Amino acid sequence: MYQIQHVDSFTAWSRLISDAFVQLRSEQVTAGHFTASLGVNMLGDIGLMRVNAKAHTVLRTEDLTSTGDGEFYKVSYQLAGHGLLIQDGRETVLAPGDLAIYDTQRPYTLSFDRAASIMVVLIPHHQFRLSRHQVGEITATRMEAGHPLTGTVTPLLRHLGENLAQWDQHGGAGLARNTVDLLATSLGGVLSHAHAVDPRIAQRERIIEFIGQQLDAPELTPAYIAEAHFISVRTLHALFEEEPRSVAALIRHYRMKYAAELLSDPLLAQVSVQSVGTRVGIVDAPGFTRAFAREYGLTPGKYRLNALA
């Protein structure tokens, strides 16, 4: 549901952004009257926010990262003005058209020395295809407006920001998830370049892409994936041994993520839950229900009711 709030004091602004994002410490950069606005649209568990504010600084300090208020990545897309982002020993200045990613589970600083406008995508860790280790390699790294990898995603972010109030009625949840996948693809390209296309990283990315393309195949298993990539099952598991999810867990996660997308689509409201399970490669209806409930804490039917309410 879309909400927009306007404030005319820095105290109110500090309270508002800590409630909307994660707990933050705020500092006013210049003296005088402070005004700002925050538009928020939560589409599923992905947040789209548009910030318009006078000069200020926000800090996610070490003590605040341990408050248990959520594990998120934030992608900032600079619409107007300039912002300074600092995290993991790196700092970058974002100009209009630039974007960067940062992690709320690690300290960061975001500062605006003049009035600025930004679009922020708030992404739960579990919804992002890149691992925390991978994201940690590219936090506070500027992807400038003319970067080949941002040529598709930045116009989409601008379009989302310009129509933030409209997405509840027009399939916004699916679009938000597609945007997150596109961001992961773009940032993954930056990561591959930064690592001079490390062959293990490149192969892992190819396998993840393959999994995403084969979700409707009941035979999608580690053995099936290994055979398709001409490697042993042991080698496949070794590729993912430092990742947060095993290959089997990754298959389950992406199947359930895809199922959640289908269940949230109003155009598919008449498709049975069992048919949704079949579309994500699980023909056993009780097995699909159990797997979905483990991932989301709700049965598929209850999840659909909440999503379409």
Three-class SS of the chain = CEEEEEECCHHHHHHHHHHHCCCCEEEECCCCCCCEEEEEEEECCEEEEEEEECCEEEEECCCHHHCCCCCEEEEEEEEECCEEEEECCEEEEECCCCEEEEECCCCEEEEECCCEEEEEEEEEHHHCCCCHHHHHCCCCCCECCCCHHHCCHHHHHHHHHHCHHHCCCCCHHHHHHHHHHHHHHHHHHHHHHHCCCCHHHHHHHHHHHHHHHCCCCCCCCHHHHHHHCCCCHHHHHHHCCCCCCCHHHHHHHHHHHHHHHHHHCHHHCCCCHHHHHHHCCCCCHHHHHHHHHHHHCCCHHHHHHHHHC
Encoded amino acid at 55, one letter: A
Q: What is the CATH number of the domain that holds 142?
A: 2.60.120.10
- Bridge partner list, 37: 6, 52
Task: Give the structural domain span for 223.
Answer: 199-308
Residues 78 and 103 in one domain: yes
- Which comes out higher in pLDDT, residue 201 or 154? 154
Neighbours of 287 (CB within 10 A): 11
Compute the average pLDDT of residues 34-38: 96
Q: What is the pLDDT of residue 309?
A: 79
Model confidence pLDDT, tens digit, residues 122-174: 999 888 888 887 888 889 998 887 777 677 788 888 888 888 888 775 667 78
Q: How far is CA 77 from the centre of its chain?
A: 13
Compute the average pLDDT of residues 285-297: 93
Q: Which of 172, 194, 216 is the last residue of a domain?
A: 194
Residues 151 and 52 in one domain: yes
Structure tokens at 138: 């590219």
Residues 164 and 216 in one domain: no
Q: What is the pLDDT of residue 110?
A: 96
Question: Domain tally for the chain?
Answer: 2
Q: Which of 194, 216, 234 is the last residue of a domain?
A: 194
Residues 147 and 105 in one domain: yes
- Checking if the pLDDT of 195 tops 60, the result is no
Residues 39 and 115 in one domain: yes
Q: What is the pLDDT of residue 250?
A: 92
Lowest-confidence pick of 5-19, 67-81, 88-102, 183-197: 183-197
Residues 163 and 44 in one domain: yes
Residues 176 and 223 in one domain: no
Model confidence pLDDT, tens digit, residues 126-139: 888 888 878 888 89
Residues 190 and 203 in one domain: no
Residues 175 and 220 in one domain: no
Please say whether the beta carbons of 184 and 123 come within 8 A: no
Query: Is the pTM for the entire model greater than 0.85?
Result: no
Residues 169 and 294 in one domain: no
What is the Cα–Cα distance from 132 to 123, expressed in whole angstroms? 12
Q: What is the pLDDT of residue 301?
A: 94
C-alpha distances in Å from residue 281, one per residue of 167, 185, 252, 259, 291: 29, 24, 10, 10, 12
- Checking if the pLDDT of 244 tops 60, the result is yes
What is the Cα–Cα distance from 295 to 172, expressed in whole angstroms? 22
- Checking if the pLDDT of 179 tops 60, the result is yes
Between the two ends of the chain, the Cα-to-Cα distance in Å is 11
